[in-house]
Amino acid sequence: MSQPIRQADLEAYLDEALPTQEMARIEQALRKDRDLVRLLAAIQARRDAGVHSLGEIWRRHRLTCPSRDQLGAYLLDATAKEVADYVTFHLQVVGCRLCLASLSDLRREAAEAPEAAETRRRRYFQSSAGYLRGR
Amino acid sequence: MQEILAQPRLMTPASQSDQLLIQRIRQGQSEAWAELIARFEGRLLAFVESRLGSRSVAEDLVQETFVGFLTSLPNYDARRPLESYLFTIAAHKLTDHLRREGRRPALPLTSANAKTSSWELPDSARAASSILRSGERRQLEETALVAAMREQIEHWRGRGDWEKIKCLELLLVRGWSNKEVAAQMGLSEQAVANYKYEFLARLRSSVRTQGLPEEVFPELYQGQ
C-alpha cells in the first residue's frame, strides 16, 4: 500500500526536494485529485503570507545534510559507524534529493572518463562566460 | 584527516573558500568562473538528470543554471552557502521546464489573489489573521529560528543523540506522525513525543527571548 501524501511532501514537492520516485507519485496524484491541488495552492499562499514552516526551514538551510567531504568519506567506507548510520538514514529514509545528487556525482566522478566532464565544462563555460563582469 | 572522518561535518553557512571564489568571480576572473563550474556542474547535472531521464535536456538546464547564477550575482548574499544557492536556481529551471512540458500543475491561486483563508492549512492551529511584514523582517525571523534549531541539533550531535535528530527530521522534514516515527525507529510513541516536546520547547523559548511574533511559527504552538 502506498504512503499517504502529506503536507510536508507537498512542501518538498514545491521545492523539487523529494526523491524522484516520490516526485513522480505526487505529480500523478495531482493530475487526478483537485483537493490535493488546492492544498498545494494553500501551501504556496501560506508561504507568500510569510508563515514559517519548521520543515521547510530545516530543509532549506540543510541543517543535517552531510558535507561533500563527509559524503565522499561515506562512499569510501571511511566514516565512524554512527555517522555512516546517520548518512544512510538521511539518504534512504529522509531521501534528501540534494545529497542523493551529490552522492551520485561522486560515484560518477570515479567512473567517468575525464574527457567527458571536460567537454561539458567547456560548453558551460563558453555559453556563460559572456555574462561575467567586465567581459 | 582523522577528524574529518570521525566527525560529521554537517552543512554550514558559506565556506571561506566559496566566499573567495565568489569574490574573484565578481571581479570578472574567468579562471574562477571555470573553477566554480568544475566544482559544481556534476552534482547539478545529477540533480536535474535524475528527474528528466534525458542527459541532453539536463545539460541544457545546467547551462541555464550557470547563466542564471551570473545574472543574479549582484543580488547574491555571499553568506549563503553557494551549493544550496546553485541547487535552488537549478530547481527553478527544472520546475519551469516541467511546467512547460505539462508535468507540473498550474496552481489555482496565485500570490496576487491569495486571501487569508486560503493559507490556513488544516493543521495550522494558530494561523494568524494578518501577518504583513517586510521581506527583511521575515528573513530576520527565519535567521533567528535557524540559529536556535542549529544549536539544538549541534547539542544533540555533540552528545551522540542521533536518535533524537532522526526522530525530529522525520517529524518535521517528512511530516511523519509520532506513531510512524516510533515504528520506523523502534521506539515508543511516548519517547518520540518527548523528543518533539524537548525540541519545540527549546525553539519556543528562543522565539520568546528574541521577541519574535508567535503567530508566524504556528507549528511551535500546536496542541498547546
pLDDT tens per residue across all 224 residues of chain B: 444 334 444 555 668 889 999 999 999 999 999 999 999 999 999 999 999 989 999 999 999 999 999 999 998 988 889 999 999 999 999 999 999 998 887 776 544 444 444 445 555 444 444 456 677 788 888 889 999 999 999 999 999 999 999 999 999 999 999 999 999 999 999 999 999 999 999 999 998 998 888 888 888 887 66
Fold for the domain defined by B13-100: Rna Polymerase Sigma Factor; Chain: A (1.10.1740)
The answer to whether the CB atoms of A58 and B59 lie below 8 A apart is no
Nearest Cα residue to A8 out of B178, B172, B165: B172
- The answer for A 77-106 residues in CB contact with B (under 8 A) is 78-80, 82-83, 85-87, 89-90, 93-94, 97-98, 100-102, 104-105
Supply the angle between the helices A97-111 and B30-52 in degrees, to the nearest 10: 110
| Residue B29 per-residue DSSP state | -
* Sequence-distant (≥ 6) Cβ neighbours of residue B209 within 8 angstroms: none
Nearest Cα residue to B39 out of B24, B54, B17, B72: B17
B115 contacts on A by Cβ (under 8 Å): 45
Q: Is B147's Cβ below 8 Å from some Cβ in A?
A: no
- Asked if A50 and B213 count as a contact pair (C-beta separation under 8 A), the reply is no
> Cβ atoms within 10 A of the Cβ of B154, count?
13
Domains of chain B, by residue range, sit at 13-100, 131-221
Nearest Cα residue to B152 out of B165, B163, B140: B165
| Residue A4 per-residue DSSP state | P
Cα–Cα distance, A14 to B53 (Å, whole number): 20
Q: What burial letters (b/e) apply to B32-60, b meaning 16+ CB within 10 Å?
A: bbeebbebbbbbbbbbbbbbbeeeeebbb
Domain B131-221 has CATH 1.10.10.10: yes
| Sequential DSSP letters for B136-164 | HHHHHHHHHHHHHHHHHHHHHHHTT-HHH
B178 contacts on A by Cβ (under 8 Å): none
Cell of B213: 511574533
CA distances to A77, B34, B71, B145 from B82, rounded to whole Å, are 27, 15, 15, 21
In this predicted model, what pLDDT tens digit does every residue of A82-111 receive, in sequence order? 999 999 999 999 999 999 999 999 999 888
Note whether B13-100 and B131-221 share their fold: no
Angle in degrees, CA A18, B55, B35, rounded to 5 = 85
